[in-house]
Amino acid sequence: VQVLRSKKIELPKKLAKRYPAYELYLYGEGSYAEEHKVLPLTGIPVLFLPGNAGSYKQVRSVGSIALRKAEDIDFKYHFDFFSVNFNEELVALYGGSLQKQTKFVHECIKTILKLYKGQEFAPKSVAIIGHSMGGLVARALLTLKNFKQDLINLLVTQATPHVAPVMPLDRFITDFYMTVNNYWILNARQINLTTLSVAGGFRDYQVRSGLTFLPKLSHHTSALSVVSSAVPKTWVSTDHLSIVWCKQLQLTTIRAFFDLIDADTKQITQNPKKKLSVLNHHFIRHPAKHFEENPSIISDLTGI
């Protein structure tokens, strides 16, 4: 039996004072958790953002699968999964905390990258997985004044209502949505963040699939939107919470993450074409074989 030992990351005093209700954790279990009691870290950072009333512990499903996969390849590569504790705030019912959460996540990213200081293959950016409103908070990072877009190399959102709030109960929520979506539409040419949105499908009664589709403009091709029941090797619809622990979907996500690793930098590739190609392979087409960057033509049908 593996023992779970999520390590609480010590935040700078000023930051802890400014956000007393929020925390940052590094997910760990078994021998991996023991080894990573001592910093600096050596893996590839991924940050999980929970949604409305969500727990930082929801990172366990995807983190555990990533750890098993790393063990299979003798830790040639491995991911370090971080998770933010938003104190289970009800941000879908009251939007007043959304801006505060966004600013805290920005500080968390900078804190995470400092944990790799001095390493040969130190990362310069993090991948983000956002569940529900956590995915919207991740997109809102780009609207912050001092935020550098290249701090995020990939964004995966699960059951996130991107288009509009499920229940527009106050002006804070509607204003937040307007700010985020207007920014992404007006700055589409400058945004080169590869983004994947996964919807739960018909079983998700809380967030219907139509709300999860990212605004895809003709010149903005780095955004993909899928429904879980159409994802190869998943083929199931999930309810709003189970999308976080659906094994088929998390396996697909982790397979994609490992295929995104650049062998030279030992981090997620910076090549946007390769990122889209990998996500297309695992979440849309999947020809029942391993991902190949330059697949060979099996048969050339000429003269037909």
Which range is most confident: 3-17, 39-53, 99-113, 182-196?
Answer: 99-113
Predicted local distance difference test score (pLDDT) of residue 29: 82
DSSP assignment string, 135-160: HHHHHHGGGSTT--GGGEEEEEEES-
Pairwise CA distance, residues 195 & 176, whole Å:
19
**Res. 298: pLDDT tops 70:** no
195-199/223-227 β-pairing: parallel
Which amino acid, one-letter code, is at 162? H
List residues with catalytic annotation: 132
Predicted local distance difference test score (pLDDT) of residue 304: 57
Predicted local distance difference test score (pLDDT) of residue 1: 41
| Predicted confidence (pLDDT) per residue in 38-78, tens digit | 678 999 999 999 999 999 999 999 999 999 999 999 999 99
Tokens 């130190």 found at: 122
- List the one residue out of 225, 223, 229, 233 whose CA is nearest residue 243: 229
Cβ–Cβ < 8 Å for 129, 49: yes
| Predicted confidence (pLDDT) per residue in 96-151, tens digit | 999 999 999 999 999 999 999 989 999 999 999 999 999 999 999 999 999 999 99
DSSP assignment string, 61-98: HHHHHHHHHHHHTTTSS-EEEEEEE-TT--TTT-GGGH
Pairwise CA distance, residues 126 & 104, whole Å:
15
